[in-house]
C-alpha cells in the first residue's frame, strides 16, 4: 500500500505558547519545537499498515526550515520517505490554504491511504484533515480508534469513536483516515532507525515546485484572519467553603450553582 | 541545568537525545513508585533493548552499535539521572555479556550474543560469594569436569537480577590454584538445580533485585565454558575494569540529578527575603557540588578515552570509580542539606538519591579495594 502520513512541528506541548504580535501567527522561533504528539499516532498507524500489507510510508509536512525535524522524526520511527514543503510565501497560511497546499503535494504521490491525526496541539483547529480530504476529492473516515485495511478488496474499515461506543465504518480506497490517540502506542525510534533515517530520501519543495499559485499564498490570500488575541487570564483563587457543620450542604449548593449536578 | 556535553559525533548527539526522550517519558515518571514498591521493571529492559541501548559498546555484526565507551558511558549517565536502578541494571547486563563478547569462541558469539545484546535475554554476573566479596580468589563454588559437561555446585551472593535474569555469567573453581583455578561459564537461567534466595532488603536500589544464587549440581555443557579453563579470574578482572567505568557513569548521572534538583529548589525557596541560592553559604555548597560532578565526569571520560584508544586503563578505571562514587555520595548528601527538612522526607527524591549513592562505593570493588588496585599499579607500573 502507498501510505502518506501528514506531520507537523509544533511548539513543545508544555511550553508557553505565544503569538508573534507583528502578524498574529504562532511564535515558533523562541520555543522548543517537537513533532505534534498526535501525529506520532498517525505515523505509528501508517507503519503498522505497512508492516501488515507491505508498501511504503511517506511523511509530508509544510512549515518553515526547522519543521523538517518533524519529517525526520517520522523517518527515524520507520517511514520510508519524506517531503517538506517549505516556502516563505506560505508563512501565515490559514487552515484552508494549508490543506490546499498539502493536497497539491500529496495528490501526485497517488496514495492509497492518507493518515492524519485529529489535531495539532498549537492551533487546535482540528479541520485540516477534513479540508485535505475535500481538496484531494477523497472520502474521509474520522475519529478512528482502530483501522483494518483490505487492499485486495480495495477497502478500509475503521472503528469510529462515538460518545457512547463506536461505529464500524467502511470506506473505499483511496481514502483519508483521521486517527485518535486511543488507536495505538507510538514506538520510539531505535538508534539504528536514527542512523538509517539519515540515508532516506527527503525532498524539499518550494511553493512553485508544488504548483501553488503565488497570489493565493500567505496572509493576503487567507480566508480567515486573526484580529486580536488575549492571553488566558490568570487562574482566580479558589473559593474556600468553611465547614461549620453544614459543609456538605454548602458544597452541594455550589455544585448546583455551577450546574454540575 | 542538565549536563552540557561535548560529544564526538552527530551520531552521539542523536543517541543522547534518544536516551533523554525515552528516559524522560518511560523511566522518570515510574522511578519513585517502583523503588518504593521494590518492583523490578523487566519490561523497561526490553524497551531499552529495542531502542538499541543495551548493546552500544558491542560490534555491529552481533547487533551492537560499536559505540566508543566515551559515548556509551554518557548514555548510562542519562539513564542514571532518571533512575539509578535501571542504569546499574544496564551496566550489569553489559558486564555479563562482556566475557562472551571478549573471550568467547566465534560459535558461542554467533549463537548467543545477538539475543543478549538485543535485551531479549537479561544477564547477571555471579562472582561474589557470601564469604568471598572483596577477595573473590577465595571462592569455593566448584565446576567439576565430567567430560563433555561440567557440574556446578556452590552459592553465589549479591547477584543483581538474581531470579530475573535469563543467563548467568558464573565464575567457578575448576582447580585449587587461587587465581588460575577459576573458569567462566554461561549458565541458562532455567537450568534445573538453579535456585534463588529472596531479594535482599536493601537500603536503596530497591527496584533492582539482589539475591543469593544456589547451584545444586547444575549441568553445564562444555560449549558454555567461556575462554579457556583456568582463565576465569583474569576474565572477571577484565570485565570489572569495564564494569567500574559503568558504575562511575551511574554515579555521575545520579550526582547530576541531585545537583539539578538542588539548584532548582534553591532558586525557588526563599529565606531571609531572598532565594536561598543567593545566600553565599549555600551558593558555595552548590558550587562545590557542581565541581564534584564535573570533575568526576572528566575523570571518567579520560579513562573511557584511554579504553577507546586501546591504551591500558585499569588504573584509570579504578580512579574513576573511586572519584565518581565518592563525589556522588557527597553531592547527594549535600542535596539533602540544600532541601533542609524537606530533603529528609520521602516526598522529595534527594534522600533516595543519597541511599542509592551509598552502594556505588561498595559494589564492583569497594572504594578501599579501588585504592588497593591503584596502589598496586603505582608500585608495579
Ligand atoms: C546491591 C549490590 C549488588 C551487587 N551486585 C553484585 C553482582 O551482580 N555480582 C557480584 O558478583 N557481586 C555483586 N555485589 C557484591 C559486591 O561486589 C560486594 O559486596 C563487594 O565486593 C564487597 O564484598 P563484601 O560485601 O563481602 O564485603 P567485604 O569484602 O567483607 O568487605 C568489608 C569491608 O572490608 C573492607 N576490606 C576488605 N578487604 C580489604 C582490604 N584488603 N583492604 C582494605 N579494606 C578491605 C571493604 O572495603 C569493606 O569496607 C553486589 C553488592 C551489592 C550490595
CATH, domain range B10-117: 1.10.540.10
The predicted pLDDT at position A259 comes to 87
Q: Fold for B239-380, please state it.
A: Butyryl-CoA Dehydrogenase, subunit A; domain 3 (1.20.140)
Name the grid cell of A58. Answer: 511517506
Distances (CA, A) of B349 to B70, B85, B105, B203: 28, 14, 45, 14
Q: What is the mean pLDDT of residues B115-119?
A: 92
Which residues pair with residue B116 across a beta bridge? none
For residue B200, which atom of ligand 1 is closest to its CA? 1
Question: So what's the pLDDT on residue B1?
Answer: 65
In the predicted model, residues of chain A with pLDDT beneath 70 are 13, 123
Answer for the pair B176, B225: CB distance below 8 angstroms, yes or no: no
Return phi, psi of residue B375, to 5°. -60, -40
User: How close A193 comes to chain B (CA, Å)?
Assistant: 9
Domains of chain A: 2-234 (3.40.50.620)
For B274-286, write each residue's pLDDT tens digit: 999 999 999 999 9
Helix, strand, coil fractions of chain A, as percent rounded to 5: 30, 25, 40
Looking at residues B91-113, what average pLDDT do you find? 96
3-state secondary structure of B126: strand
CB pairs under 8 A between A and B: 27
All structural domains of chain B with their residue ranges: 10-117, 123-233, 239-380
Q: Whose CA is nearest to atom 12 of ligand 1?
A: B128
Phi/psi for A16 (5° steps) reads -75, 125
If one compares A17 and B249, the residue with the highest pLDDT of the two is B249
Closest by alpha carbon to B141, among B232, B18, B66?
B232
Binned at pLDDT 50, 70 and 90, residue B47 comes out as: very high
A contact test, residue of B51, B59, B78, B120 with most A CBs within 10 A: B51
CATH topology of domain B123-233: Butyryl-CoA Dehydrogenase, subunit A; domain 2 (2.40.110)
Q: What is the mean pLDDT of residues B5-11?
A: 93
pLDDT tens column, A101-129: 999 999 999 999 999 987 777 767 778 88
Q: Is there a catalytic annotation at residue B11?
A: no
Contact assignment for B51 to A194 by CB distance below 8 Å? no
Q: In this predicted complex, what is the ipTM? A: 0.83
3-state secondary structure of B211: strand
In angstroms, the CA A81 to CA A75 distance is 7
Cβ neighbours of B84 (radius 10 Å): 29
Give the pLDDT score at A94: 85
Q: Look at B47 and A192 and tell me if their CB atoms are within 8 Å.
A: no
Which is it for strands A155-162 and A140-150: parallel, antiparallel or unpaired? antiparallel
CB B79, CB B86: distance < 8 Å? yes
pLDDT at residue A123, as a whole number: 66
Question: Which among A13, A185, A188 is the top mutation candidate for probing chain B, defined by the most B β-carbons within 10 Å of its own β-carbon?
Answer: A188
CA nearest neighbour of B101 among B132, B54, B59: B59
Residue B73 pLDDT grade (very low, low, confident, very high; cuts 50, 70, 90):
very high
Average pLDDT, chain B: 96
Amino acid at each position: 500500500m502507498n501510505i502518506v502520513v501528514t506531520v507537523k512541528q509544533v511548539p513543545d506541548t508544555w511550553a508557553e505558547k505565544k503569538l508573534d504580535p507583528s502578524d498574529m501567527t504562532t511564535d515558533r522561533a523562541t520555543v522548543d519545537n517537537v513533532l505534534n504528539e498526535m501525529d506520532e499516532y498517525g505515523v505509528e498507524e501508517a507503519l503498522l499498515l505497512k508492516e501488515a500489507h507491505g508498501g511504503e510510508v511517506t511523511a509530508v509536512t509544510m512549515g518553515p526550515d526547522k519543521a523538517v525535524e518533524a519529517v525526520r522524526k517520522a523517518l527515524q520511527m520507520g517511514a520510508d520517505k519524506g517531503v517538506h514543503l517549505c516556502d516563505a510565501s506560505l508563512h501565515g497560511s490559514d487552515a484552508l490554504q494549508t490543506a490546499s497546499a498539502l493536497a497539491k503535494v500529496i495528490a501526485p504521490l497517488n496514495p492509497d491511504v492518507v493518515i492524519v491525526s485529529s489535531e495539532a496541539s498549537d492551533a487546535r483547529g482540528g479541520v485540516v484533515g477534513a479540508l485535505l480530504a475535500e481538496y484531494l476529492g477523497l472520502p474521509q473516515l474520522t475519529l478512528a480508534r482502530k483501522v483494518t485495511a483490505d487492499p485486495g478488496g480495495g477497502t478500509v474499515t475503521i472503528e469510529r469513536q462515538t460518545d457512547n461506543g463506536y461505529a464500524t465504518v467502511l470506506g473505499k480506497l483511496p481514502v483519508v483516515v483521521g486517527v485518535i490517540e486511543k488507536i495505538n502506542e507510538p514506538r520510539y525510534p531505535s538508534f539504528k532507525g536514527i542512523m538509517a533515517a539519515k540515508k532516506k530520501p527527503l525532498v524539499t519543495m518550494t511553493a512553485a515546485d508544488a504548483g501553488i499559485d503565488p497570489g493565493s499564498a500567505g496572509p493576503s490570500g487567507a480566508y480567515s484572519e486573526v484580529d486580536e488575541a488575549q492571553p488566558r487570564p490568570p487562574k482566580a483563587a479558589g473559593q474556600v467553603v468553611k465547614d461549620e457543620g453544614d459543609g456538605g450542604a454548602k458544597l452541594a449548593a455550589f455544585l448546583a450553582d455551577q450546574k454540575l449536578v | 541545568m542538565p549536563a552540557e556535553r561535548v560529544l564526538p559525533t552527530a551520531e552521539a548527539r542523536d543517541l543522547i537525545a534518544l536516551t533523554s526522550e525515552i528516559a524522560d517519558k518511560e523511566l522518570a515518571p515510574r522511578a519513585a513508585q517502583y523503588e518504593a514498591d521494590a518492583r523490578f521493571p523487566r519490561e523497561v529492559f526490553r524497551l531499552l533493548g529495542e531502542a538499541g541501548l543495551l548493546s552500544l559498546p558491542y560490534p555491529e555484526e552481533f547487533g551492537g552499535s560499536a559505540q566508543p565507551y566515551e559515548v556509551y558511558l554518557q548514555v548510562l549517565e542519562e539513564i542514571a539521572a532518571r533512575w539509578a536502578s535501571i542504569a546499574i541494571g544496564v551496566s550489569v547486563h553489559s558486564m555479563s555479556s562482556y566475557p562472551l563478547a571478549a573471550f568467547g569462541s566465534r560459535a558461542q558469539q554467533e549463537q548467543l550474543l545477538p539475543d543478549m545484546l538485543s535485551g531479549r535475554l537479561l544477564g547477571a554476573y555471579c562472582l561474589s560469594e557470601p564469604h568471598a566479596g572483596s577477595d573473590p580468589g577465595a571462592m569455593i563454588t566448584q565446576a567439576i569436569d565430567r567430560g563433555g559437561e561440567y557440574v556446578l555446585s556452590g552459592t553465589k551472593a549479591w547477584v543483581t537480577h538474581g531470579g530475573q535474569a535469563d543467563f548467568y555469567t558464573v565464575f567457578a573453581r575448576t582447580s585449587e590454584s587461587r587465581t588460575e583455578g577459576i573458569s567462566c561459564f554461561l549458565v541458562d537461567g532455567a537450568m534445573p538445580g538453579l535456585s534463588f534466595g529472596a531479594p535482599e532488603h536493601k537500603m536503596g536500589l530497591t527496584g533492582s533485585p539482589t539475591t543469593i544464587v544456589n547451584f545444586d549440581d547444575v549441568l553445564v555443557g562444555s560449549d558454555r565454558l567461556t575462554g579457556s579453563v583456568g582463565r576465569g579470574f583474569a576474565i572477571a578482572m577484565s570485565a570489572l575494569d569495564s564494569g567500574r567505568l559503568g558504575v562511575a557513569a551511574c554515579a555521575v548521572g545520579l550526582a547530576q540529578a541531585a545537583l539539578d534538583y538542588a539548584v532548582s529548589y534553591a532558586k525557588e525557596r526563599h529565606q531571609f527575603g531572598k532565594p536561598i541560592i543567593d545566600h553565599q553559604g549555600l551558593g558555595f555548597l552548590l558550587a562545590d557540588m557542581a565541581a564534584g560532578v564535573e570533575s568526576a565526569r572528566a575523570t571518567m571520560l579520560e579513562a573511557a578515552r584511554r579504553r577507546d584508544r586501546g591504551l591500558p586503563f585499569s588504573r584509570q578505571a579504578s580512579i574513576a570509580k573511586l572519584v565518581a562514587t565518592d563525589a556522588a555520595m557527597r553531592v547527594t548528601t549535600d542535596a539533602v542539606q540544600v532541601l533542609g527538612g524537606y530533603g529528609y522526607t520521602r516526598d522529595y527524591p534527594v534522600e533516595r538519591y543519597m541511599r542509592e549513592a551509598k552502594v556505588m562505593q561498595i559494589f564492583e570493588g569497594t572504594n578501599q579495594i579501588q585504592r588497593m588496585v591503584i596502589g598496586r599499579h603505582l608500585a608495579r607500573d
